[in-house]
Amino acid sequence: MQDTADHSAPDAVDPELTELPGPPQGRRVLTLALMALVVVASAALALSLRHDVAYFFSSGDTIELGDAAQVDPAALRANTQVRVSGTPMLSRTVHYRRVLTGSEYVVFPLGAQRTIYVHAPADADALSNAEFTGRLVTFDDLGGRVGAVEGYLADRMDLPVSGESYLLLSGESPGSYAWALLLALLCVAFIGVDVWLFVRWFLPSKGAAAPSGGSAV
């Protein structure tokens, strides 16, 4: 009597395939590390966009604040669209340029108060307006996007600016933040694909089970 394995069976594994060397361990570890890094980076970026996405879904109603000098700081709500009037302080204006887009902006306080600062494109009208409409946020809400400007206002301009100070992003309505929603969805897609690949990586493939022994004859 002799045990024989039926290699013609559909679920049989070719012995030559089982003898092939596996992928290099170092390359496997590097691939898994890169996939994990993509998940972490995508999650961090999606989290940083939470205020932008929330503003996109806000009602879009404009809150009239009136004269900035008469605004009660306790009545302000971040991540809302507001309209405020006041005189830009030219002597306390900071100019900066965004690296990725090359666009130039100005940040300045309005006269007779230190509660609300205005962020606007650096055009001819930015410093000549007396009324500004846009998104009201705190410096902390923007993360590190204007961190250098915040530090410059506090250290070089000697202004009482902190992460809890309010910044009005002039001209930025809820509808202008569709990009934030799309970018957040893209991050979620990256996370979903990477998690799926992780699961596929560690799940046994079909046909990986050892073939059953033949019957005795």
Question: Are residues 69 and 161 part of one domain?
Answer: yes
Domain presence at residue 4: no
Are residues 53 and 69 both part of a single domain? no
Is 138:163 a contact under the CB 8 Å cutoff? yes
Q: What is the CATH number of the domain that holds 107?
A: 2.40.50
Query: Are residues 138 and 120 part of one domain?
Result: yes
Residues 165 and 66 in one domain: yes
Average pLDDT (152-168) is: 95
What pLDDT, on a 0 to 100 scale, did the predictor assign at position 116?
96
Chain-wide mean pLDDT for the chain? 86
Predicted confidence (pLDDT) at residue 159 exceeds the cutoff of 50 = yes
Domain-embedded: residue 216? no
Judge if 168 and 65 occupy the same domain.
Answer: yes
Higher model confidence: residue 99 or residue 81?
81
Q: pLDDT tens digit string along 109-156?
A: 999 999 999 999 998 688 889 999 999 999 999 988 999 999 999 999
Tally of structural domains, the chain:
2
Question: Does a structural domain hold residue 3?
Answer: no
Per-residue pLDDT band at 217 (split at 50, 70, 90): very low
Residues 108 and 65 placed together within one structural domain of the fold: yes
Burial of 8 (0-12, 13-18, 19+ CB in 10 A): exposed
Say if residue 31 is in the same domain as residue 103. Answer: no
Q: Does one domain contain both 45 and 106?
A: no
Domain holding 142, by residue range, is 61-172
pLDDT in tens, 51-92: 999 999 998 899 999 999 999 999 999 999 999 999 999 999
* Model-wide pTM > 0.75: yes
